[in-house]
Structures are given as structure tokens and as C-alpha cells.
Structure 1
């Protein structure tokens, strides 16, 4: 129960300021239709309680499970086994990410169906999953993460000149939406769990940076998708 109180406090600090700001704008300046304003208040309440339950679920379920899985996979002693399941888990959590689905819906609507929802979701999920597997490989092989960042962002810069202009901003937004409330806790927990069981490793040094690295995958994936559609 104590943990749930802390979650409610965190959600209150996140939701109440924006709610208060909108209420102030409604009273002092904007004066939107009453029906729309009431719907906003109801929606804010649903977001508050839904987010509180979601974050509690992350703390009691996703984080422990991610660390447990990350700790068990390297013990199997098979690199292909580790990389395969890192890819599968990365793909699965991205497909479940609400932010990715919101972006896919918006792109589908704006493009008039040219880029379908499922096409974009699967592209983003595959890109992130590939880089989650690459991040696990980096931990095992002790490759400096700065090298991977340098090579990956160089590839992004080069591809941005060949990708149709309309797809470049979508690609960068695709990387941003993968840093959502489902993907981030699981990827971090997976990395920390993997680093913790590797002998002589620092969970602090090896377990972090995975989210930033993984988010590069969707950017590259959507740029390649743009070149295909273009």
C-alpha cells in the first residue's frame, strides 16, 4: 500500500499541473464549450487513475520480470539464444507501446493510408528489437557504447539525405515514441539484469544507455521504409 501511495504522489505531480493550467485557461481566457471542458475533466480523471494503476503494474510486474529474464538469458551460455530472445522481447514490448500506436494512427490518417498503421508499427518494432539485441551483444562483448552511438548516428545522418523529406520527421518521432512507459522499464530492467550476472561488470556502466541505443533502430527502420515507399 505504501508503494501505491508513492505512485499516486508521482502521478499527481505529473497530471495535476497541466489540468490546473487548462482549467485556468478555460476560466480566464479560452472559454471552450462546456461539453468539451467536461469531457476534458472526465478524461483527466481517467488518465490519473489509469496511469497510477499502470505505473504500479510496472513496478510490481514489468521491472522484476525484466530483470529476472535479463539475468537468466546469459546463464544459458548460448549467444544466439540470448540475441534471439532479446529481439523477440524488444519486438513484443514495442508492439504493446501505446505511444507507438498513437503515432501510427496519426501517420495513417495524415498520409491517407499510404503508410498503414500496422506497417509502421511493425517497422518500428523490428528496428527497436534489432537494436535491443545489439545492445545485449554490446554488454557481452564489452564494446564501448560511444562507438555504437557514433556509427549509428553517422548512418542516420547519411540516410537522411537519401530518405524522402516527408519520412525524415516521422523517423525521428518514431525513435521518440519508443521511449514510452512500456518499453523503457522493460529494456532498462533487461539490460540491468544482463549486466548484473556478467562477471566483473558494472550494472551502472553497462545497464544504462540501452534506451537511447534502442531508439536508434526505429529511426533507421522508418528511413529505410521511406526509401522503399519513395
Structure 2
């Protein structure tokens, strides 16, 4: 019970330190620049309090449930004699975790709104989820077979630089932002805990070397998948223009 209360206290302090500076900054702008009506200020502060409460509940749930749960699953997967099973497990868990990532859904909604529906929300969401799914599967295989992280990151980012020159410029900008939102609280807790648990279960691996690094692969995944989607769309438009010429 005391451990649970200590976790609540640590989480509450983290939320205060995250939200309080933003609230103070808003009040300073309100006093010196914005001069919004009191009703608007009341709504903003009420929304901030609700967001802080929701953030506290989410982070507390992640710390109490997701991280131990992820570590336990990772240890069970790492103990399997068939290391290739890490690939399908990573594909499924990577897709499911990204599907539930709040920041990914917010980005997909913003892209749909900003493009007036020309870049659909579902298209962005599926592209990010599939990209992260594939990269988490590869990341789990890396842990299972002791592959160096550099052997994945260097070719991956080299491929990104190449695709960037040929992809649709709209998707290049979206992809760069997607690399940040994909590494949200679920990826940084549940998936990272999975990787650390799997690496620790191997017995002959240093979790600091093989367990960490998965988030770097996750950050690279949506950049690759969305730029590839932009490349396919640009190729489709080029074929259409050539056919009509």
C-alpha cells in the first residue's frame, strides 16, 4: 500500500511540474497581452485542471499496470526457445500499442483537418501503425539474435534520406512529426518494458545494450512508412498525368 501511495505521489509531482509552468505562462500572457474575458479564462483553467487530472490517472495507470505487465510479457517471450516467435509477437504488440497511442490519433485528426480531408485520418493512422508494427517486430528479432542497433539505424536513416527526395512533400512534413508522436507514453512504457524484459530473460545479454534502443526504431518507423506512402501517391499521380498526356 505504501508503495502504491509513493507511486501516486511521484506521478502527481510529475504532472504538477509539467502543467504548472504552462498555466503560469498562460496567466502571464493573459495579464500583459491577451486580455481575454473572464469566462474564457475560466474555461481554459478548468480545461487545464481536467487535462492534469486525466494525465495523472493515465500516468499512474501506466506506472502501476502497463510497465510491470509489459516486463512480465517480455520476460515470457524472451524465455521462449523459438526466437523467431518474437517477430509475430512484436508485429501484433507494436500495432496494438500504436493504435491506442493518443498522440498518434491526434496527429491523424490534425492532418485530416488541415488537408480538408484530402489526406484521410485512417490512411495516416494505418500507415503509422503498420510502420511501427514492422519495426517493433524487427526490434524484437534484434534482441533475440543479438543484432547491433547500428545495423538497423544506419541503413534505415539512409533509406529515409533517399526516399525524402522522391516522396510527396506533404508527407515528408507529416512523417517527421509522426516520428515524435509514435514514441508516446505507451511506447515509452509498455513496449520499452517488453524489450527490457525480453533482453533480461535471455540471460546472456546486457539489457542496457539490447533492451534499450527500441524507441529509436519506433521513432524511425512512421517516418519510413509515411514517406513510402507519399512516394506511392506521387507515383500514382505521375502515372495518371502520363496517361492523360
TM-score by length of 1: 0.96
Mapped to 1, the partners of 2:6 and 2:228 lie a distance apart of 47
Structure 2 distance, partners of 1:164, 1:75, is 43
Q: For structure 1, which segment, 30-39 or 4-13, has the greater mean C-alpha deviation from structure 2 after superposition? A: 30-39
For 1:168-179, list aligned pairs within 5 A.
168-179=172-183
Deviations 1:198-229 (A, max 9, x none): 12111111111110112211111001111222
2:136 aligns with 132
User: How many residues of Structure 1 are paired with residues of Structure 2 in the alignment?
Assistant: 230
Choose 163-172 or 111-120, whichever is displaced more: 111-120
Look up the match of 1:31. 35
Unmatched segments (≥5 aa) in structure 1: none
User: How far apart are the structure 2 equivalents of 1:83 and 1:205?
Assistant: 19
2:76 is aligned, of 72, 75, 79, to 72
Distance 1:39 1:127 in 2: 38
Q: Which residue of 9, 12, 15 corresponds with 1:11?
A: 15
Aligned equivalents of 2:117, 2:231: Cα separation in 1: 17
- 2:150 matched to 1:146? yes
Partner of 1:108: 112
Counterpart selection for 2:219 from 215, 218, 222: 215
Distance apart, 1:20 and its partner CA: 0.7
Q: Alignment partner of 1:166: what SS?
A: helix
Q: Which residue of 2 aligns with 1:206?
A: 210
Give the superposed CA RMSD. 1.1
Query: Is residue 192 from structure 1 mapped to residue 196 from structure 2 by the alignment?
Result: yes
What per-residue deviation string (whole Å, max 9, x for no partner) do you get for residues 160-215 of structure 1? 01101111010111111011112211111011001001121111111111101122
- Mapped to 2, the partners of 1:84 and 1:47 lie a distance apart of 36
Matched, 1:20 2:17: no
The answer to whether 1:96 aligns with 2:100 is yes
TM-score by length of 2: 0.91
Q: Which moved more, 1:74-83 or 1:46-55?
A: 74-83
Alpha-carbon separation, structure 1, partners of 2:107 and 2:210: 30
Shift of 1:80: 3.6
Please give the alpha-carbon distance, in whole angstroms, between the structure 2 residues aligned to 1:53 and 1:105: 24
The within-5 A match list for 1:80-91 is 80-91=84-95
Runs of 4+ in 1 over 6 A off after TM superposition: none
Once the two structures are TM-superposed, the CA of residue 32 in structure 1 deviates from its matched residue by 2.0
* CA distance in 1: counterparts of 2:232 and 2:15, whole angstroms: 41
Q: Return 70-79 or 182-191, whichever deviates more.
A: 70-79
Q: 2:169 aligns to what SS in structure 1?
A: coil
**Which moved further from structure 2: 198-207 or 96-105?**
198-207
